[in-house]
Chain A
């Protein structure tokens, strides 16, 4: 019976990480449903971008208030996870504050004190975020597209983080009192706990056994809470804490103005313009097959980076708040484009889970999730991509879907059809004669 704790701990640990791994594999499988895209060029630039944008948070400063609060939570989260190593070792081997033996007295004191300060900053961050999100009325955080799960999800994240930090302080405070009483060996320094919870707990003059239960309780809560939170990520927009890294690594490094040229079209046009080409020739042996589709109608037609983007979006709405179409009241919201892409991809994933492979469900990303009206409202100005703190690219999805509408369905608005006909026939978007191009010089 002596090792019951350790066994339970180990089982929970393995189950928690196992489940999490399973979720990650599912995400990986879903992302791979998309078209392949070569984004492993310019490696050093990619590492640099990831370090600067994802680790260095370089884009968060554009909104200073949210930026600084986010920094509190981010730095706190990253460093407090070192604590997780200690929890795991202590849990498996039944030690107490294992890192103290490795770090030595002075450094361990410094370490625990730093964690306390960071934990306090995390609490400040999440409390202010909660107020800002629910009572302050920041427009991008109270828009209609967030009603329901997205809004609740955001609040749950904040509540869980708050609870985890409180458990951390409760654990430290009871530990500190027990250390003072000589029940536990003295390890660590807890300045914040000493100032806040310790005096509060002292009022009640709890006995040692009660405090030990509190300390262990908070420890277990903290541990199980972390496992829970980790597994919650899969269902949450909070996946960005992991996927921001690959998303920034695989980000588009070209200038915003450069849209890709479809190679399959280039081949066709070259053939068309080549006077020696035989239009009836059979394709050469081993020639690549023409792509089944131009543009994107469903998630399968998007590329893997676009699908990764959909999972990485944390729905902060910076993109939508700068979108000229959205700020003037049109239906388009770049954030909603990513959210809907993820919703559809998840639906496809569930379909595969159920049937073993994707069975046609009569739905598509286009029309069933994203309407033409949204797609046609985009001015391709790139304000959304410029605003995204983790370099996601909702515009590329809009663009691919427009390509599908125009090249597969001929479903452009009538005025655009006119414009395109003019370009094709008169070499200008208006119906002027190409021979009149230099008339201005004669005026």
Chain B
């Protein structure tokens, strides 16, 4: 990164607090592919001068995969630890590029004592755009065919279908919808802790089924809003040997590209 990423501890040391906490998430911190999404998001925030901080070493897994696997103990242990940290810094607003972190922080932390305004990065960018702080011109995407895969934990779980689409529209691309989109969307196959295990036996893998549907529209880009969907669909595109023709990109990466960041 060509600028410094500040942590909550840095801000606290200065006696200040940032506009928003960027919850990076485990994938965003450690997964090589997802790290690019993290960086793209930071570049955009930096360019338009949003004061944001990360927790850095003080961040832990939200507990989502443990919870959905059925391990309430590990989940709550993670949750309580995170809530202690967040409350100590008096965090008000959290943005995250991972719908699983988003869902857990937003819906499952309040009853454990963690009450914050939690938004997905696409919602935050939409907010910034509506405020006139973020301007996007989609020159390089003009006319390119893009299809968007709804992440379950953003769409169906939290009823957010419009923010990602609104951002994609700003790119002047040709947005095509898959038959299974929005409330009818099909899972990428990673949710509910499936990301961390081999799938059960079946006719095919869920990500292959989903990618097949996306590829049937012959898009140039499959847009995602979740690091796990991104991995699953990237694997799916490789499965069909289409990785030289079709890109799988997070919306925030597309926006950063449009801005030449």
Q: Give the interface of A toward B (CB within 8 A).
A: 254-259, 261-262, 265-266, 268-270, 272-273, 294-295, 322, 324-325, 327-332, 373, 376-383, 386, 399, 402-407, 412-413, 415-416, 418-420, 423-424, 427-430, 432, 434-443
Contact = CB atoms under 8 A, between A and B. Distances in A.
Contacts of B60: 427-428, 434
B261 interface: no
A402 B69 contact: yes
A261 B39 CA distance: 33
Contacts of B28: 440
Contacts of A256: 156-158
A443 B194 CA distance: 30
Given A328-B204, A406-B71, A428-B26, A254 B192 contact: no
Given A332-B200, A407-B73, A415-B196, A259 B67 contact: yes
B57 A423 contact: no
B160 to A, nearest CB: 10
30 contacts: A254-B107, A256-B156, A257-B103, A266-B76, A269-B73, A269-B77, A329-B201, A329-B202, A373-B201, A378-B192, A379-B189, A380-B68, A380-B191, A383-B152, A383-B185, A383-B186, A386-B156, A403-B72, A404-B70, A412-B71, A416-B69, A419-B196, A420-B65, A423-B65, A423-B74, A424-B66, A428-B61, A429-B61, A432-B26, A438-B57
Contacts of A430: 26, 30-31
A435 B57 contact: yes
A377 B199 contact: yes
A322 B184 contact: yes
A423 B67 CA distance: 11
Given A322-B186, A383-B186, A420-B69, 8 more contacts: A257-B153, A273-B80, A377-B199, A379-B189, A382-B157, A403-B70, A423-B61, A429-B195
B55 to A, nearest CB: 8
A405 B70 CA distance: 8
A160 to B, nearest CB: 34
Interface in B136-183: 152-153, 156-159, 183
Contacts of B184: 322, 383
Given A255-B158, A379-B152, A381-B192, A412 B69 contact: yes
A61 to B, nearest CB: 12
Nearest to A273: B80
User: Which 8 A-B residue pairs are closest in the complex by CB-CB distance?
Assistant: A257-B157, A329-B203, A380-B192, A402-B70, A329-B202, A427-B60, A406-B70, A258-B107
Contact of B5 (A295, A324, A402, A438): A438
B45 interface: no
B72 A437 contact: no
Contact of B159 (A255, A328, A413): A255
A401 to B, nearest CB: 8
Contact of A325 (B39, B108, B198, B200): B200
Given A383-B187, A437-B59, A406 B111 contact: no
B88 interface: no
A379 B152 CA distance: 10
B29 A427 contact: no
Given A328-B204, A437-B56, A443 B69 contact: no
Contacts of B30: 428, 430, 432, 436-437
B7 interface: yes
A382 B156 contact: yes
Interface of B: 1, 4-5, 7, 24, 26, 28-31, 35, 38-39, 42, 54, 56-57, 59-61, 63, 65-74, 76-78, 80-81, 103, 106-108, 111-112, 152-153, 156-159, 183-187, 189-206, 208-210
Nearest to A404: B70
B181 to A, nearest CB: 12
A443 B5 CA distance: 11
A262 B133 CA distance: 42
B156 A419 contact: no
Contact of B39 (A407, A428, A435, A440): A440
A373 B198 CA distance: 12
A322 B200 CA distance: 17
A427 B7 contact: no
Contacts of A443: 1, 35, 39
B229 to A, nearest CB: 11
B30 to A, nearest CB: 5
A99 B39 CA distance: 76
B44 to A, nearest CB: 15
Nearest to A377: B200
A64 to B, nearest CB: 14
Residue from the set B59, B69, B190 with the largest chain A CB neighbour count within 10 Å: B69
Given A273-B80, A416-B193, A440-B39, A328 B24 contact: no
Contact of B200 (A331, A415, A419, A428): A331
B107 A407 contact: no
A386 B204 contact: no
Contacts of B70: 295, 399, 402-407, 412
A258 B108 contact: yes
A373 B81 CA distance: 33
A327 B73 contact: no
Contact of A269 (B54, B80, B190, B201): B80
A386 B159 CA distance: 11
A219 to B, nearest CB: 47
B63 A373 contact: no
A324 B74 contact: no
Residue from the set A328, A329, A439 with the largest chain B CB neighbour count within 10 Å: A328
Contacts of B77: 269, 272, 424
B192 A379 contact: yes
Contacts of A265: 72-73, 76
Contacts of B39: 440, 443
B5 A441 contact: yes
A257 B57 contact: no
Residue from the set B70, B78, B107, B158 with the largest chain A CB neighbour count within 10 Å: B70
Contacts of B38: 440
Contacts of A294: 72
Given A269-B73, A406-B69, A416-B193, A383 B200 contact: no
